[in-house]
Chains A and B, each alone.
Chain A
Amino acid sequence: MAQTNCSRRTFLKQTAALGAAAAFPTIVPSTVFGQAAPSNKIVMGAIGTGSMGMGDLNGFLHKDEVRVVAVCDVDKRHRENAKNTVDNRYGNKDCVAYHDFRDLINRGDLDAVMTALPDHWHAITSVMAAKAGLDIHGQKPLARSIREGRAICDAVHRYARVWQTGSWQRSVAHFRRACELVRNGRIGKVSYVEVGLPTGGTRGPQPEIPVPDYLDWNFWLGPAPWRPYCDFGGNSPHWNWRWIMDYSGGQLTDWAGHNIDIAHWGLDLDHTGPVEIEGKGEFPANGLYDVPVTYRFRCKYATGLEMVVANNQQVAQGAKWFGEKGWIHVHRGGLSASDDKILKEVIGPDEIQLYNSRDHLQNFLDCVKSRKLTITPVETAQRSISVGLLGEIAMITGRKIRWNPETEEIINDPAASALLGRAYRQPWTL
């Protein structure tokens, strides 16, 4: 049984040391070894095992090449639920449950981690994991601020880690198809694109209540400003932290990593960003939540392209590109176009073929082995969320933001520039 917990990393090291398989190619095809061979086991830990975290964890547990050995959450109920799930899957009691993610990262036997935490925790955990030499599947959006996102990119690049963001729409055939049609000029030159994201909500004032004994509230807050415990909605802080600026930017930043991400993919904008951002949001005033409920902002790119991002009462949910010869609209419900003929178009082999992943988590695992870029690499995630975060800054300041996508700096507006990063509550540091 010891062999099944032998991580891929350990195995490769051993074989290399023995000189037995020292010459096998770096780009290891997954077929080289049998699916269950120990060398193919990717040993993983899971940080954050609430609703999204359990979704990802279950996905990984069903991959034969993965061995999950550790889970971590500051909510005891989540932690124990995750441990039980893992143990049931493997039929043993071996999964270690951690309270502090630093202990999980520093185990020394992991190949990769998956994280599914509130946005304000993304940077600290991701940077620490990258510095520990781990590959990372991280939930979108990449980070709560643009500077944090850049810090994650830097650490991932520096240590040549494999990164995949949970922007799984890129692994869905009809999204890829839509982007390929746009990329290959099937609607002509595109000068305008609309991105529709869900609409937010509000919640009245909430009294302070005692912290439940299963939750480490101080750790949950971590680097975010302190606040007394209350019910965010649904009797817990989970999930509905999304509507409070200290932890998230609302539907806008939640979905930026999906639909703005797709809009960028269709236009080959994964390595750049807008140059001007201007817009308005309706900020709730009646109680606990403070992220915009409705919002609409316009981004201009250096090429003259314009993107309007708004909640789905103002523009249709999804990404909709308008070209000289028609439009294409894609969302989770499907794909449509100004003319059905466009949708029947064949993309020739000598035209642009986009990265083809049919199974998001599998793509991550394949890349952990091949060391290739995943379908949603870290730089792409940074560029997708930057649009949402710049929109947020434009709406908070109420003025047009000019942006240099090369240097990732706001031009000529030091006060707005102060919103690109955030100070952390002690003792957390990035």
Chain B
Amino acid sequence: MKNRTMLSITILATCLAAAAVSADKIELNDFSAWRTPTGDWMIAGDAVLNAQNDALLAARPGKGVMINGPTGHTNNILTKEEWGDVSLHIEFVVPKGSNSGVYLMGRYEIQVFDSCGVADPQHSDCGGIYQRWRNDRGFEGRSPRVNASKAPGQWQTFDVIFRAPKFNAAGKKIANARFVEVKHNGILVHQNVEVTGPTRAATWENNEKPTGPLMLQGDHGPVAYRNIIITPLDPEPKPTYPLKALIVDGQNNHNWKATTPVLKQLLEESGFFTVDVATTPAGGQSMAGFAPDFAKYDVVVSNYTGDEWPDATKAAFEKYMDNGGGLVIYHAANNAFPNWPAWNEMIALGGWGGRNEKYGPMVRFRDGQMVLDYSPGPGGTHGPQHDFQLITRNNEHPIMQGLPEKWMHAKDELYSNLRGPAKNMTLLATAYAARDKGGTGEHEPMLFTVYRNGGRIFHTALGHDTEQLKCVGFIVTFLRGTEWAATGRVTQTEVPHDFPTADEVRLRTKNNADIPAGYGREIVSWDFDKNRQALAAIEEDIRAAAPARMRQIEAAMVKAMTDPQCTQAGKQWICRMLRQIGTARSVPALAALLTDEKLSHMARFALQDMPAPEAGRALIEALDRTDGDLKIGIVSSLGLRGEEAAAAKIAPLMKSENRMMARAAITALSHFSNHETGQALIETVLPPDLEDLRNDAILTCTDAMLNKGHVDFATDIYRRMTAETYPVFIRLAAYRGLVRAQKEKAVPTVVNLLKDENDDLRLAAAKFIAEMPGQAATKAFAAQLHSLPPATQVILIAALESRGDKAAADAVAKAAQSADESVAATAVRALATLGSADHVKLLAQISAKPGQLGKAAVDSMQRLTGDNVNKALVAVLLGSDNAAARVNVVDVLIARRASDAVGAFLVAASDRDASVRQAACKALGVLGGKEELPMLTGMLLASDNSADSAAIERAISAMAPRLQPADGAVIVEAIARADADAKVRLLGVLPRFGGSQALAAARANAAGAGEIRKAAIRAMAEWPDPAPLDDLFQAAADQDQTLHVIALRGYIKLCSQSANRASSETAAMLAKALPIARRADEKKAVLAALTAFPCKETLNIAETCLADPALKQEAQLAAGKIKEALITRQLSATASRENDTAGNALDNNPNTRWTTGRGMKPGDWFTLDLGTEAVVKKITLDTRNSGNDYPRGYEVYTSFDGSNWGKPVLTGEGNNPITELIFPEPVHARYIKIVQTGSHDTWHWSIHTLTIELQ
């Protein structure tokens, strides 16, 4: 119980107080209400014009007024408190020409300016809502209706009613920030003005939040403020859905009789609207009776253009709009009422009906901004219908949220040159009216909003006829725009998956496709032991269905589920489907199952993660109707759903006698993560066996609170839960939380933990050190290192290594010199990660030490990264007086493949210490090249130390494979000058070079005697190509047995080397070796060599040898291997593309194929490996199952080795699905390559079956 009281209510109370609503008036007796820095801002009794300079203010002593310093150029000042919806009264005074601003939420500015006497005020004049700013362009500034400014030096007032932007649970903006009213000196200058985002010079220009501080601009000129009264407003009542919409039609030069029903259906099917239609009398008939009760509706959708309405109807409509009504202008509705001024202001832009320059400008989007074009001409035009692209111009407006920047609209009239007052517009999307499509060459406005008095207007120029209404882009913007016009909100934040893309139109063709009656009836009788065909068909349907069809499927599912005959299995399966597609419409039927013992969990399957809020409400409501296990299930679903509204009902369940219930309740509360649930978790008295779970829940809740930014709250809880009275794993988790909350401030805590006597905590501390972010933390830990006992140092160094932050390098380097062996070794290892070139010298010194420490230093030097490590290693090589260190750095440089160190190796190759010299030679062999060869050769000639000579020989041998045969000239030339010992060594490296010059030298020396002749023949025996075959054959006749063996083995080896010759030829060459072989061993070597060339001839030779008893066993083995190879080697294929499926052409299955996977192109190839040599007459390529995929042209090559191909043996053109490659003369080859010479954009080259005809 002690633990609980420590986490007393006081902490929580403090935290809760911070969130509370504060007083109305901001007292300006001091700056306690304001955030720092407060700059030059000062408190005064009054502010008056400076007597000497009327561009400055003078302060009078006292309190209650705030002035931005003597010059009027200091920082902006922000309140500590944050607000959302508020009413604000504020008074200000400016001197002549000065400038400031009042920023609601630190983001949305009402301009303060000396605008006294300005006739035509702009957004930048006093009382204006300042423009927004993006890409160096301003937009959306709103001028005050009138200029209400007083003279400089006089106190003025703003009275503002402001609504903050609104966000849904997912954080998406559903309503813009809105100035409901702004009064300047008591005069209404704005009504119902939305801002789609922060205005210019806001503290946060790029984000919007539900709350923010009041900000007063202080850096644009002198200003003083007083009497700041800011009062939170009650939340606006949420709109009641479905919204009531009225479509007005009756006359239109467009097909209104067809489009109105589609619009109505779209609105109704969305689930957001109910729709009535008001139809006027036909054209020319009396309009007298046309008087819809507009006030009954949330929004009016106009599909009307025709005769004037009666004046009383017009007046009623204006009144409806002024009182907060909504209007949607759909396509040709903007042709209506050219002579009704209020209408023209509402629609902002219209076309035809005699509209021209007298009606106002055209609106264009040029050079990144909206411009008004006053040039004369008639209003309204369009070219022929065509698909065109819309460009989103304001993605912060909820109507456009989440829509792509560009999207295609279905073939439509592109309305252009619309004209009108063009006031109070927010441009949402434009379309480019291309001249080659009969357009204006301008970006024309397609979607925009307008405000006028209290009314909201959404205007869409799209949608000529029913065909255009299938466009998903039209549908989405129309539904969102209509909701916005009705409510100022857009809660339809989801972007449908079939929304058009930048280059693809998307139509809802299935929009009206009703599912057949009885759809899904099979489910009613489905059971677990039946096959799933009917279910699978619906699952497939759901995958393909458009939203409207999906809703019909949902309805059919609900119907089947509520059928009294429906099986438990059927209901289960429907619940699974509703988990995928269920909406609010399914909730009642699912809610009914929550009390069903067998199906409650399946209802939760559908409800738990369903986006609709109704699902959460149904679960909460079910708490009262259930108990036992069913209630436990519902509690856990509510928890996982994060349904915080359930907290009050769930909290008491923590005390349930049923332990599973109590556990579920505690766990659920932990998911809500707010102060209240935290408090409930802490304060409820629980039995001891629930303590661990409760502690875990508090930690879960606290972790989430920390993620939400409540650092102090979280720190306090964590700190208290580290107390020794808690179980060790809770303490450990609390420490972890503390580290996350406090960041580098937690360093002392963690260091102390390293010394804790509890092992689990000490082990965890190392983990925390590794995980804590930031260089500051690294430095803080590193600073502690040397004050710790050695054992703790070891842990800390290893943890610093895991961090990988090089800021710890110097501290670790110091530890590497520690007298404590384990500290030093750990530090040396850590330097591999943390160190740099700076630590090479130190590591090299340490590397000379014996044992593990020295090895660790070598290893660390190898692993060091960063610039200049190799340079530093070279410096040690050339500068260190420790020979062991010098040898070690050479090894390190080799391992690092430091080719830039070659010069240093050459120097070190004449080091005073033999081990360094030999190491340097080895390095030259691995890393050196042609340039180093003469010097190495020279060293060999001069060497009088056989160990050095051997090292140099090894180096040259190692280097040679990277060089050209011609480079061997150096060796050839040196042989002539060399003494006997050097000659033998130099002859030994000759075969590494090969080439004719080297061979000539070998031959010349082979003519000599003794060791030199032996060395020369050994060199030829190791030759890289068959050139010395004859020399070896002759030398094999030598009486000297050693020479005979060397030469004969060399001959067999060279015969066996890969060469582009037929196996039969190789067989003949090998056969020559048999008679001259003197011992059975040598003959056996010949037999072994034969097996690599399976063919008739080699088989013959092997079989002939069977007669010799000494060879019988070997000959049998060889013959067996050859036969096996001949039989089992199979045809295989490779290809330039889709190589993995090349075998499909050879599997005799016409249903599988090899294909290029794209249109055939010259150079595509397909190669056959016959597995053995054969004589081929004809190859047939069959692609009848992809009838167009035959090669348009081909060349055929052959080879024995698969790499040398020569000239084509056949060329031709394919012209039907069976291509026959008939060789004029049968070809002898192992490999056959077919190369494509034709091309086709569409058709692939494929081979379904390939057949070969042999001779």
Hey, which bits of chain A sit against chain B, CB under 8 A? 9, 12-13, 16-17, 19, 22-27, 131-133, 147, 154, 157-160, 204-208, 225-228, 230, 283-287, 290, 316, 348-350, 353, 371-372, 396-400, 412-415, 417-430
Contact = CB atoms under 8 A, between A and B. Distances in A.
Contacts of A398: 542-544
B1230 interface: no
Interface in B801-824: 802, 822
Interface of B: 402, 494-495, 497, 528-533, 535-537, 539-540, 542-544, 572, 576, 579-581, 598, 600-602, 604-605, 607-611, 629-630, 632-633, 635-637, 639-640, 660, 663-664, 667-668, 692-693, 696, 699-700, 703, 727-729, 732-733, 736, 754, 757-760, 762-767, 789, 791-792, 794-795, 798, 802, 822, 859, 862-865, 869, 895-897, 1140
Contact of B1140 (A159, A316, A400, A415): A316
Contact of B865 (A23, A228, A290, A350): A350
A245 to B, nearest CB: 9
B766 A27 contact: yes
Contact of A25 (B605, B696, B795): B795
A26 B637 contact: no
Contacts of B693: 131
B640 A423 contact: yes
Given A158-B703, A287-B532, A418 B633 contact: no
B629 A427 contact: yes
B609 to A, nearest CB: 4
Contacts of B757: 16-17, 19, 22
Nearest to B758: A16
B580 A418 contact: yes
A426 B632 contact: yes
B798 A27 contact: yes
A21 to B, nearest CB: 10
Nearest to A28: B763
Nearest to B667: A429
B729 A159 contact: yes
26 contacts: A13-B758, A13-B759, A17-B757, A23-B791, A26-B754, A26-B766, A132-B692, A133-B728, A158-B703, A160-B732, A205-B529, A207-B529, A285-B533, A349-B863, A350-B862, A350-B869, A396-B539, A399-B497, A415-B581, A418-B609, A418-B610, A421-B608, A421-B609, A423-B633, A424-B601, A424-B633
A287 B862 contact: no
A380 to B, nearest CB: 15
A418 B583 CA distance: 12
B609 A25 contact: no
Contacts of B668: 429
B719 to A, nearest CB: 16
Contact of B539 (A283, A316, A420): A283
Contacts of B633: 423-427, 429
A396 to B, nearest CB: 7
A287 B604 CA distance: 26
B791 A25 contact: yes
Contacts of A287: 531-532
A425 B603 CA distance: 10
Contacts of B540: 283
A17 B535 CA distance: 64
Given A160-B732, A226-B598, A371-B764, A423 B605 contact: yes
A312 B757 CA distance: 54
A16 B732 contact: no
B531 A371 contact: no
Contacts of A285: 531-533, 535-537
B497 A400 contact: yes
A348 B859 CA distance: 11
A422 B601 CA distance: 10
A428 B640 CA distance: 12
Given A225-B572, A400-B497, A427-B632, A204 B531 contact: yes
A159 B611 CA distance: 32
Q: For B580, B630, B660, which residue has the most chain A Cβ atoms within 10 angstroms? A: B580
Nearest to B796: A26
Which A-B residue pairs are the 3 nearest by beta carbons? A398-B543, A426-B633, A285-B536
Contacts, number: 195
B809 to A, nearest CB: 16
A161 to B, nearest CB: 9
A315 to B, nearest CB: 8
B532 A286 contact: yes
A272 B572 CA distance: 35
Given A132-B729, A228-B528, A350-B865, 14 more contacts: A12-B760, A22-B757, A25-B822, A26-B765, A27-B766, A158-B736, A160-B764, A205-B530, A225-B572, A226-B572, A412-B402, A423-B609, A429-B664, A429-B668
A230 B794 contact: no
A19 B537 CA distance: 70
B17 to A, nearest CB: 29
A187 to B, nearest CB: 15
A26 B497 contact: no
Contacts of B630: 426
B866 to A, nearest CB: 9
A99 B406 CA distance: 60
B729 A133 contact: yes
B529 A349 contact: no
A316 B763 CA distance: 44
Nearest to A281: B543
Contacts of A415: 580-581, 611
Nearest to A289: B532
A118 to B, nearest CB: 17
A227 B733 CA distance: 39
B791 A24 contact: yes
Contacts of B762: 26
A206 B569 CA distance: 14
Contacts of A225: 572, 576, 601-602, 605
Contacts of B754: 26
A399 B632 CA distance: 35
A283 B576 CA distance: 15
Nearest to A194: B1140
Contact of A417 (B529, B531, B536, B609): B609
A225 B754 CA distance: 47
B605 A131 contact: no
A430 B542 CA distance: 30
A414 B611 contact: yes
A349 to B, nearest CB: 3
Contacts of B1140: 316
B1 to A, nearest CB: 22
Q: For A13, A157, A426, which residue has the most chain B Cβ atoms within 10 angstroms? A: A426
Contact of A349 (B533, B736, B895): B895
B925 to A, nearest CB: 15
A397 B543 contact: yes
Q: For A16, A27, A207, which residue has the most chain B Cβ atoms within 10 angstroms? A: A27
B757 to A, nearest CB: 5
A425 B601 contact: yes
A333 to B, nearest CB: 14
Contacts of B795: 25-27
A418 to B, nearest CB: 4
Contacts of B608: 421-423
A317 to B, nearest CB: 11
Nearest to B569: A227
A430 B667 contact: yes
Contacts of B664: 427, 429
B598 A158 contact: no
B611 A283 contact: no
Nearest to A223: B601
A348 B897 contact: yes
B646 to A, nearest CB: 14
Contacts of A13: 758-759
Q: For A22, A25, A428, A430, which residue has the most chain B Cβ atoms within 10 angstroms? A: A25
Contacts of A17: 757
Given A285-B532, A418-B610, A424-B636, A396 B896 contact: no
